[in-house]
Each structure stands twice: as C-alpha cells, then as structure tokens.
Amino acid sequence: MSYFRAKIEAMAGYVPGEQPQDDQFIKLNTNENPYPCSPSVVRAVEETARRGLQKYPHPMAQAFREQAADVLGVPADWILCGNGSDDILTIATRSFVGDGELLRLPYPSYILYKTLAQLQGAKSEEVFFEQDWSLPDAFAATTDDLRLVFLPNPNSPSGTVVPPEQVLQLAQRLPCPLLVDEAYADFAEVHCLDLVTKSEKILVSRSLSKSYALAGLRFGYVVAQPEIIAGLTKVKDSYNCDALSIAAATAALGDQAWLAENRARIVATRQRLTAGMRKLGFAAVDSQANFTWNVHPEQPAKPLYGRLKQDGILVRYMDYPGWGDGLRISVGTDEQIDICLERLAAIL
C-alpha cells in the first residue's frame, strides 16, 4: 500500500540534468552561463547579509518589481516573482489547470511541463512541432477542457523561435491562457513582452538563471495583466523569494551593460559552435538560445555523449520517444567549445 495519491504513485517525476558537484567536467549540459555574474550582484548579497536576515522579505519582492518595471517598461503590478521560473510555471499550472483538465505543450520541448500537469492530476497533450520547428495548426485548436498552453520561446532543445505575430494569433484563437516561457529570450532577436498589453491571455515568464548567470540563485518572474498577476498571487507561497535572491536579482537587472556584453559573447560563441558542429557533419539547428541541437546523420548520439563524458565533457543527451534523439550542447566559453569540437572530431 502507498501513502501517496494514486497519480503521484503512478508518475515518474522530473529528472533534471546531471549536476556533478566537483569541477572536473567542462559542463555544457544544462545551459548555464559560463561567465560569472555582474559584480554588483555579489555586493548586493554581501550588503543584504550584513544588514541581517532576521526579518521576512517583502512578499512580492517589491524592490525587484520596481527595478524590472524600469528596465522592461511595464508597470510593477504586471510582474510576479518566483523562486526560479520553474516556480512560476508551477504557480501557473496550479492556478489554471484542475484535476482531469487539459494542459497543452509542444513536443519536443521542456519535459517539466508534463510533470506539472501530472502533479495536478491533469491531462497533457503533446503537439508535435513540424519538421522545420514551426507549430502546426492543431496547436491552436480549441477543446472544452483546455485550460493552459505552454510555449517555450526560444524552444529547448531546438533553440528555435515562433515569431511574436504568430504567438499573438495563437493566443487570440486559444480559449485559455498561453504562457510563453522566455527562459532564453535574452539570447534571441525577438521576444513577446509587448504582447502582454495586447492580450490578457498572454503570460511571459523569464529566468535569471541563464542570461544573468544566476542558476545557483533561483530567481524568475512572469509579466501579465494585473488581474492575472493578482490571481497568481493567491496561489504562490507567501515568501517564495528570499531576501538574498531579491537583492541579487534586483542588482542583476540593474546592470544592463553586463547583460549586453555577456549576450554578445554568447551569441558569437554560439556561431562558432554551430559552424564547428556542421563541419563535423552534424545537422545543427540555427539557435536563438545559449545552446544548439545536434543530430549526426550516421553516428548515434548516445555513444557520442558517453565518449565525451569519459573525456571530461558533459553535454545533454536527449531522447524524445516518437521524435528521435540528439545532443544538446550549451554555449560555453570559446575555449570550452574548441575543446569539445576537438574531442568530437577525434571520436568521429
């Protein structure tokens, strides 16, 4: 006999990418930023700790909301903060999708969405991307029990983008909220933030883990119309962001010069990685994120992943049943990418 709810007992649970806690690997498997965060973040954490942590933080992380409002050009009450953007995705799923109702996601994309549906006892519908990573018409289909649609944009593992005008059309056709997961948007040429004013159905989530080099901190946020933010607020934990992370994230957004410089470096190295992989015979997808998706026409991906790991290079082997497998490689430093490409050349 199990003490767990039947649907929890039956589900597998989300398995995050490997996180070895020593520094022996060149780590290109979970899309972390290879460069350290802005020095102003470190100062903010030190100062906050020195001032003392005996009091609860602001429940809405107001300091961050005001900084983000300034940087993004939206009012502060259009922003809700989370303990990483995964927390935002959890809050949205709990807010909109009940037992037996339906959550839609594209496939292949972020595996966590399906896990979130399972936790709610909800159904999930995976709609396959077209071969060119565009969305089929079925993604906009209306069904009675559809309550929430997730769209990672740029998508993972492909790094591809659905153009904002198509995202708006999609939202207009859907009967429910559309959460555009922009974890990688800072590396892309387009984003959907402006659409939030055009449709109350559009929610845009962002993460500080990747583009701000703060995966170890846990901070994300969502932008939506204030009625939506007010509803989501009822569902979140009272103090879902701690004082140190609020101070750090506020400082991070305050240093846009750091972001611009970091983004330029990552985008340049992404080009080096894509070109290098193509030279080795991989079909590497043009990416607008800080990783690329690579399939070799002859060499199976799993042994390649294993050989690279033996050589101290960790990339992400992804196997999507019904779709196929491949290697997702995060954009590291130029030096890390050159070593990865050299090792792959030797293995092939």
Ligand X SMILES: *Cc1c(COP(=O)(O)O)cnc(C)c1O
DSSP 7: H
Kindly tell me which of 152 and 326 has the beta carbon lying closer to ligand X: 152
Interactions with ligand X, residue window 46-85 (CB under 6 A): 84-85
Q: Which two tokens stand for residue 143?
A: 């069904």
State which residue has the least CB distance to ligand X.
84
Interactions with ligand X, residue window 166-185 (CB under 6 A): 181, 183
Using alpha carbons only, what angle is made at residue 288 by residues 286 and 291, rounded to the nearest 5 degrees? 80
* Near ligand X by CB under 6 A: residue from 27, 29, 86, 148: 86
The pattern of x and - marking residues 107 through 146 that bind ligand X according to CB under 6 A reads ---x------------------------------------
Q: Cα separation of 330 and 63, whole Å? A: 32
- Interaction of residue 153 with ligand X, rule CB under 6 A: no
Residues 6+ apart with CB under 8 A from 219: 64, 81, 82, 83, 84, 207, 208, 209, 241, 245, 246, 248, 249
Q: Smallest gap, in angstroms, from Cβ of residue 220 to ligand X?
A: 4
For 276, other C-beta atoms within 10 Å of its C-beta total: 20
Q: Smallest gap, in angstroms, from Cβ of residue 73 to ligand X?
A: 22
Kindly tell me which of 110 and 296 has the beta carbon lying closer to ligand X: 110
Q: Are 345 and 311 in contact (CB under 8 A)?
A: no
DSSP secondary structure string for all residues of 69-115: HHHHTS-GGGEEEESSHHHHHHHHHHHH--TT-EEEEEESS-THHHH
Q: How many residues bind ligand X (CB under 6 A)?
A: 12
- Interaction of residue 90 with ligand X, rule CB under 6 A: no
Interactions with ligand X, residue window 191-230 (CB under 6 A): 207, 209, 215, 220
- Backbone dihedral angles phi then psi of residue 314, each to the nearest 5 degrees: -100, 115
* Near ligand X by CB under 6 A: residue from 57, 106, 108, 152: 152
Residues that bind ligand X (CB under 6 A): 84-86, 110, 152, 156, 181, 183, 207, 209, 215, 220
